A and B are shown apart, each in its own frame.
Chain A
Amino acid sequence: MKHTISVLLQNKPGVLSRVTGLFSGRGFNIDSLSVAETLEKDVSCLTLVTHGDEAIIEQITKQLHKLIDVIKVTDMAEHDHVEREMAMIRIKAEAGTRAEVLRVIDIFRGKVVDVSPKSYVVEVTGSKSKVQAIIDILRPIGIQEIVKTGALAITRGKKF
């Protein structure tokens, strides 16, 4: 089963390598991963998507927690949360297709962030399935390049 795990880490060199090394060394899988600094400069937040049965996920969270640089591990499956991915897509956009591309992008609430005579660069955010859906729709028109982030996840509500 797919799990999204959020990990707060000390923001130091080599910490990400400890996390990824743990996964490769123990034969766990990383489906996607994204990491950046948080409000606190010396703390990073890493969102990691992985899959496995209950026992594997339990080991993943325990082993992550055991790393000395890890502050907190949250399995998002245990919390009501919001999850997003982002993709930037360079799509062929010539005279005949420009209008159709714009229409699709509009439907998906995407944004054109770069225009050239023969292509657009489109930015789209949403759940994994939504991002996949726009890719599927745009593919027949002619996708030239795609870059995607891993998932980001945050719990709903606020802990005040």
Chain B
Amino acid sequence: MKMKGAQAFVKCLEEQGVEVIFGFPGGAVIDLYDELLNTDKLTHVLVRHEQAAVHAADAYGRVKGEVGVALVTSGPGATNTVTGIASAYCDSIPMVVFTGQVPTMLIGNDAFQEVDIVGITRPVTKHNYLVKKPEDLIPTIREAFHLARSGRPGPVLVDLPKDVIGAMVNYTEPKPIKMRTYKPTYEPHPGQVEKACKAILKAKKPVLYVGGGVINANAAETVTELAKKLDIPVTMTLMGLGGFPGTDPLSMGMLGMHGTYYANMAVANCDLLISVGARFDDRVTGRIDAFAPHAKIIHIDIDPSSISKNVRVDIPIVADCLHAVTAMNAWFDQSKDFSKKAAKDQHKEWHKQIKEWKNRHPLGYVEESDIIKPQFVVQKLHELTKGNAIITTEVGQNQMWAAQFYHFNKPRHFMTSGGLGVMGYGFPAAIGAQMAAPKQTVIDIAGDGSIQMNIQELATARQYKCPVKIAILNNNYLGMVRQWQELFYDKRYAHTPMEVAPDFVKLAEAYGAVGLRAKKPSEVEPVIKEALKTKNTVIMDFVISREEGVYPMVPAGKATTEMLLV
């Protein structure tokens, strides 16, 4: 069937199951935007900055378990997406970003709004394309979606010259995609599975270390089954929160730089570390030579290059987390050497030890009667939403308090920029999450610094009637950097006080949203309750203790056992 490239573009998105795209129009993509008016199947969300389009697509995809899509114009539109793309790349988020490009005959001529976006994004995409010929348009779009969602997921960029989307193309029905060079390994090697299971049977002090790969692979339930069957304590990375129920007795919460004392102690003393879909990031490991020094390490990862990249692995399993853990569960179910009771007895001492650590330094904070503690706000948010809200965060102290005190029980309920750490992620992500789950409560836990990085999206939230709630933990500081300055720079607060800030309540009102403020602990609950019942976008401005820190804390470059505890 002959049709215009722009029409084929829309048809391809529909055939890939896309329902919502986030974007911003411009000259190079005007034909695509014109075509979007002809379809009822695609909702386009007009953001106010292209970076927000990508973060929104990121969270939309994560909540839905699908590929998020963003569409922007050439030049500045394209370059504004780079931060969002890099964030999705670090966090292995399936995404396709379409950028407009000047007509092919002008490429390389420094044309108006021309930029080599394929060159710019090469190191931060799973793959990227410049579609030079109309006949390549449809196969490229299909391949881009295939790459984004399969194997280790990631962002794929497709650069579309104006003449290509204006040309006539021949649309044919999609066929299964075969690529000569790309064949991800999903199934685990049975020999490796057996080795891993035998090592687990022998371990007296095992720890399960759950990462974002578990959520990507929809393996949370399967991993939970494994942990419970074997009675293994579980710790999660920032990206893995929700990959195992945070309130389960086996959960030790997060590990690493701001992980719990007991999770870090358990990892430092375990005899077997079973890593599922986690990549041993430096924020988790601290000083590498002191990380899990007594442990045999099993590493399950779909990306072979993640294995033995940062730490030496004893039993690698290259596979999809779901397939690998399913195979392990099946192995134990069939094994004569395994019984639940025996596993429980074998780990008894270990659990006792962990309990002792837990009692010695539980996760907590010092309450004060007249000043709001940020941890208290997060706890209240958890309590009043019954732990069911989708939480997004900005980056910094707000992110860590959210991770520590909102105990995530389900996957796809916590959206944060983990690997890249993008301030300004949380609010557009909340809009994306709300578009994916219109009926759910979505809360962006923010700092007063980072919310200002994409605050213009209040207009987007209002335009699309996204009733997202923004909880600003407002200490008039760039809090995390201030905390480092306090601890390691002799309290020289170089440019971290945010001396001028908007009145967030008035700002919300200026956009037609609702602004609420709490200055005392007693005002926290009424403000949250008011926000939760409001059907509009709400900013909750919590004026918090100015110099509160995130603890425990492992100073950068130290061993994870060298924690600062309050």
Chain A interface (Cβ < 8 Å from any Cβ of B): 10, 14, 17-18, 21-22, 25, 55, 58-59, 62-63, 65-66, 68-71
Contact = CB atoms under 8 A, between A and B. Distances in A.
A103 to B, nearest CB: 50
Nearest to B181: A71
A68 B181 contact: yes
Contact of A65 (B127, B147, B179, B305): B305
A71 B305 contact: no
Contact of A17 (B119, B130, B305): B119
A146 to B, nearest CB: 32
B308 A14 contact: no
Interface in B80-96: none
Contact of B118 (A14, A22, A65): A14
Nearest to A54: B308
A155 to B, nearest CB: 20
Contacts of B130: 14
A15 to B, nearest CB: 11
A22 to B, nearest CB: 8
B122 A17 contact: yes
B126 A68 contact: yes
B151 to A, nearest CB: 9
B122 to A, nearest CB: 5
Contact of B182 (A14, A59, A62, A68): A68
14 contacts: A10-B180, A10-B181, A14-B130, A17-B119, A58-B308, A62-B304, A63-B305, A65-B304, A66-B303, A66-B305, A68-B126, A68-B181, A69-B181, A71-B181
Interface in B272-318: 303-305, 307-309
Interface string B174-189: 0000011110000000
A71 B180 contact: yes
Contacts of A10: 180-181
Nearest to B152: A66
Contacts, number: 36
Interface residues of B, number: 18
A55 B309 CA distance: 8
Given A14-B118, A17-B122, A65-B304, 14 more contacts: A10-B181, A14-B119, A14-B122, A21-B122, A21-B123, A22-B123, A25-B123, A55-B308, A58-B308, A59-B305, A62-B305, A65-B305, A68-B179, A68-B182
A42 to B, nearest CB: 9
Contacts of A68: 126-127, 147, 179, 181-182
A6 to B, nearest CB: 15
A65 B181 CA distance: 9
A147 to B, nearest CB: 28
Which of B123, B126, B179 has the most chain A CB atoms inside 10 A of its CB? B123
**Top 3 A-B pairs, shortest CB-CB distance:** A62-B305, A68-B127, A25-B123
B280 to A, nearest CB: 13
Contacts of A70: 181
Which of A58, A66, A71 has the most chain B CB atoms inside 10 A of its CB? A66
A59 B181 contact: no
Interface in B96-153: 118-119, 122-123, 126-127, 130, 147
A70 B179 CA distance: 11
A68 to B, nearest CB: 4
A66 B304 CA distance: 8
A14 B125 CA distance: 14
A10 B129 CA distance: 14
A152 B303 CA distance: 30
Which of B119, B181, B304 has the most chain A CB atoms inside 10 A of its CB? B181
A87 to B, nearest CB: 32
A18 B122 contact: yes
Contacts of B179: 68
Contacts of A25: 123
A28 B309 CA distance: 14
Interface in B192-211: none
A71 B180 CA distance: 7
Nearest to A63: B305
A63 B307 CA distance: 11
Nearest to B179: A68
A150 B122 CA distance: 25
Contacts of B122: 14, 17-18, 21
Nearest to A59: B309
Nearest to A43: B180
Contacts of B307: 62
B178 to A, nearest CB: 14
A72 to B, nearest CB: 9
A59 B119 CA distance: 23
Contacts of B309: 59
A62 B127 CA distance: 16
Contacts of B182: 68
Nearest to A71: B181
Contacts of A63: 305
Contacts of A66: 303-305
A24 to B, nearest CB: 9
B149 to A, nearest CB: 14
